[in-house]
Amino acid sequence: MRAIETIKNIWKIEDLRNRILTTLLLIAIYRFGTYVVLPGIDPKALTALQEQTRGGLLALLDMFSGGAFSNASIFALGIMPYISASIVMQLLAIAVPSFQKMQREGESGRKKINQYTRYLTIAILLLQGPTYLINLSVQLKAVGASLPANVWFTVSSTIILAAGSMFILWLGERITDKGVGNGISFIILVGIIARLPHSLFQEFISRTTDKTGGLVMFLIEMLFLLFVIAGAILLVQGVRKVPVQYAKRIVGNKQYGGARQYIPLKVNAANVMPIIFAQAIMFIPISIVGFANSENTSPFWSAFMDNTGFWYNFVFAVLIILFTYFYTAITINPTQMADDLKRNNGFIPGIKPGKETKDYLDSIMDRITLPGAFFLALVAIMPAFARIAGVSMDFSQFFGGTSLLILVGVVLDTLQQIESHLLMRHYDGLLKSGRIKGRSGAVGAY
């Protein structure tokens, strides 16, 4: 079989084999850490916290941390503080001139930005640590337990949580350097996949024992899930190629250049960030109602408490579309692209260099972002349709949203890396025809 032959070819390449084994070892260390509970906490008293993380933004945080958040683990804060710091630094690189200059300095500027990102990550962790402990204390009181009531526990636990997240960041960097690449994204992927077997098994048991459609309904779910995954792959890989002609230049008696190349503009340049932003905003009404008396909740707020309701998903989809345009605008800079083309003696056929090129690229991005934004919103609200169809809450998260897009994107990137190693050693690729396209081949990869 071709699959077996491909595995044999992968194993024959020493460098690729070592990278895969290194990645598996680092992931095993990470998964072990997600079950190491903070000192002074009874693991049996975490039922209320685990129930709290079954929905809303906390479910997203728990998913990204591979269950460490609900386990009150030393890795409970996960990799999200680093992602938040990275987003802040991206915004600063657009709004603050000093950061813009730093970004244009090449490798030295990139190192400075990475260093500032780590400092900001530590600051976020030192703020999130005590907040997490306060929430944990409230949830433990709900089941009759409590945290140690002393300052030393708070200080030591905050340091442990911060150190745990920075250790995860270090693991991700090692996976990038010594493993299969995309270390941070790969760690998030592992956290998502870790929930899949249990959710799939529970869904199968529910369908076959609770008289909710039986095995036939379960198979229909699987077919629909494959259809959604195929759509997510198209969304991740979608690229509009803009042709670029480079001016011919003569050096001595020889002529160089003149070859036609392409600028790849992604249909979904914002990737999963609009969903994360929109989910954070949609969690605000839930938080407000949580601090108020639930018996006196108005119908307006009640509408935003039901994540399968029309108004919740309508507002959610609109926010995603708006954030898609916003994030695309701050990550894709047509002015800089036009300047780079002009500086390298390049031009788009039929378009004058300079402002006309910038306007042309801007119009292209507007046209391809609109369908990408609508498709992204559809993928994001797909779990709500799955819940309405009777799919369990845990398993419905795999029918769309952030989890599906990250899973598809990282898997494609990893397969692309493996295929590149195979082709460099003159082996066949992973597919009989064509090459695997990941996210990194286009502008604005996540």
User: What is 38-53 written as a DSSP string?
Assistant: PTT--GGG-HHHHHHT
- pLDDT for position 408: 85
The span from the CA of 184 to the CA of 117, in Å, is: 14
Domains and CATH numbers, the chain: 14-181 (1.10.3370.10), 197-446 (1.10.3370.10)
Task: Say which residues have a Cβ less than 8 Å from residue 187's Cβ, sequence separation at least 6.
Answer: 27, 30, 66, 79, 168, 171, 172, 175
At 163, list the tokens.
Answer: 């150190």
The span from the CA of 366 to the CA of 131, in Å, is: 40
Task: Say which residues have a Cβ less than 8 Å from residue 231's Cβ, sequence separation at least 6.
Answer: 375, 379
- pLDDT for position 11: 81
The span from the CA of 359 to the CA of 216, in Å, is: 53
For the chain, the maximum distance between any two Cα atoms, rounded to a whole number of angstroms, is: 87
Under a CB-based contact definition with an 8 Å cutoff, are residues 88 and 427 in contact?
Answer: no
**Per-residue DSSP letter, 224:** H
Q: Which residues lie across from 242 on neighbouring strands?
A: 263
Query: Which secondary structure element, helix H or strand E, spans residue 420, and what is its range?
Result: helix 401-424
- pLDDT for position 163: 94
Identify the residue whose tokens are 């204390």.
Answer: 137
Percent of the chain having pLDDT more than 90? 10
Query: Is residue 445 predicted with pLDDT exceeding 50?
Result: no
Give the tens place of pLDDT for each residue, 173-225. Answer: 999 888 887 888 888 888 888 888 888 888 888 887 766 667 888 888 889 88
- Nearest of 256, 184, 192 to residue 413 by alpha carbon: 184
Query: Is residue 442 predicted with pLDDT exceeding 60?
Result: no
E-strand ranges in 231-277 read 239-246, 249-251, 254-256, 260-266
> Which of 47-51, 299-303, 359-363, 409-413 is least confident?
299-303
Under a CB-based contact definition with an 8 Å cutoff, are residues 231 and 402 in contact?
Answer: no
Query: Is residue 282 predicted with pLDDT exceeding 80?
Result: no
> Which of 243-247, 341-345, 364-368 is least confident?
243-247
The confidence band for 30, taking pLDDT boundaries of 50, 70 and 90, is: very high
Query: Is residue 5 predicted with pLDDT exceeding 70?
Result: yes
The confidence band for 395, taking pLDDT boundaries of 50, 70 and 90, is: confident
The span from the CA of 25 to the CA of 23, in Å, is: 5
Query: Is residue 167 predicted with pLDDT exceeding 90?
Result: yes
Query: Is residue 47 predicted with pLDDT exceeding 60?
Result: yes
Q: Which of 124-138, 256-270, 381-395 has the highest mean pLDDT?
A: 124-138
Give the tens place of pLDDT for each residue, 53-64. Answer: 666 566 667 777
Query: Is residue 240 predicted with pLDDT exceeding 80?
Result: no
The span from the CA of 235 to the CA of 405, in Å, is: 9
Four-point Cα dihedral 378, 381, 384, 386, nearest 10: 40
The confidence band for 441, taking pLDDT boundaries of 50, 70 and 90, is: very low
The span from the CA of 114 to the CA of 82, in Å, is: 10
Query: Is residue 9 predicted with pLDDT exceeding 90?
Result: no
Helix axes 334-343, 355-388, angle to 10 degrees: 140
Would you give the end-to-end CA distance of the chain in angstroms? 34
Give the tens place of pLDDT for each residue, 85-109. Answer: 888 887 787 778 888 888 777 778 8
pTM above 0.85, yes or no: no
357-372 burial string, b = 16+ CB within 10 Å, else e?
A: bbebbbebbeebbeeb
- pLDDT for position 444: 37
Give the tens place of pLDDT for each residue, 318-332. Answer: 999 998 888 888 778
The confidence band for 251, taking pLDDT boundaries of 50, 70 and 90, is: very low
Compute the C-alpha angle 438/439/442, nearest 5°.
Answer: 115
The span from the CA of 164 to the CA of 76, in Å, is: 8
**Average pLDDT in the chain:** 80
